[in-house]
Structure 1
Amino acid sequence: MNDAEERARFADELREETRTLLIESGLLGLLQEKFGEATVTGSAGYDLMAWRGIDLHLPCEADRAIEWLGLAAEIATTLDERGLKLHRAQFANDYLDPQHLGAGLRWTLEFADFADNHWSCDIWGFEPFDYAVRQARDANLRADLASADRDLILRLKHEARERFGYYGVMVSAMDIYQFALDGAGETLDELERWRGLVAE
């Protein structure tokens, strides 16, 4: 997407699609019923979407890992009741092997919406205290991003995704956010230098 208006329009469309999907699929209601709350975070929560991907954070104690394993069946049933099908579900217990986002439980889901658009959804369960800390940090980031150059972020996201094996490997969404907030440049090459991935 080479046009700022087109990028903005697409991001706005994705925001509305996300809201509709989370409600009409029953997914958000199911998670709130089981865990008390579910927060939409990441690009969907920051209104910086460049593709159909949703991140949800929940408070979930580590000793609920077996219950968490059963969550995929409940999600599949909930989607099926609304005419949707769960295509893929991948489980991870990151308490056993913490990744860069820390210790927690995770489901990565793939399914199509009512218009047959493909979506991915990462659902993360963190210890309640850890979840609260993350929520506070997330609120600060949301406030900072509200005054950032939205089109710069959207453009860099689209450009990064167009490079094979680049997004999520060389640079992440968080790299792009911090790069924009720091006013460190306007290109992926400058971002790489800012991150120290290439020599000055």
Structure 2
Amino acid sequence: MSDRTLSEAIRHEADRILNEHGLMAAMAAYGQPVVQGSYALDLMTWRDLDMYLVTEDRSTSWFFELGKAISECLQPSKMSYRNESNGESAHLPKGLYWGTYAKLFGQAWKIDVWAIDSEQYKRKEEAFALLQARLHDGNRPVILALKNELYRHADYRKRFFSVDIYEAVFEGVQSKEQFSVWLERHRGLTYSF
């Protein structure tokens, strides 16, 4: 299966999760749900869905009600909760988080939901729009190929991320070997892919 075909198949499954399984409707009862990440960029290589719930509510009681609603939609095997409202982890959004793990359509899915306020979401949306504007038919296949080759690496999503791949390709990187050089130069990380 080609990188493009795989991306389309995973995105179709994501559409079914959002609509047929009722995730968007369930979340809409608690705020404004927005799907971002690789789904919105049309660059899906694994079954991971990144969502924001835009709300001004800072309490946790409603967020546990949302967790119950998510659970009823997806019948997950595991859900993890995180409270980053005080912004203790600088690299994470300031808000509440559900990490949901479910088997859907015979496949393991991870769905990340961050509840954040509108001001924070506005900044994220602006950054996302800048990233989206740099994508085109010439660099999209390179990004998909690199993501497909690297997403099983033990440090992917721990020490280096999709955004690193995007930035590297925007700067002309075309292969894993070139990406390895880019990571060392820009992030101080040494890998031999």
* Matched residue count: 187
Distance 2:147 2:37 in 1: 13
Return the offset for 1:137.
2.0
Match for residue 158 of structure 1? Answer: 148
Q: Which runs of 5+ in 1 are unaligned?
A: none
Distance 1:168 1:90 in 2: 17
- 1:38-187 correspondence to structure 2 within 5 Å: 38-61=33-56, 63-77=58-72, 79=73, 84-96=74-86, 97-113=88-104, 115-146=105-136, 149-163=139-153, 165-187=154-176
Structure 1's consecutive aligned runs of 4 or more residues displaced over 4 angstroms after TM superposition are: none
Matching of residue 8 in structure 1 with residue 4 in structure 2 = yes
SS of 1:28's equivalent in the other structure is helix
Contact 2:48 2:109 in 1 (8 A): yes
Return the offset for 1:62.
5.3
Distance 1:121 1:171 in 2: 20
Counting aligned pairs with the same residue, the percent is 24
Greater displacement, 94-103 / 8-17: 94-103
With the length of structure 1 as denominator, give the TM-score of the two structures.
0.84
Distance 1:61 1:41 in 2: 19
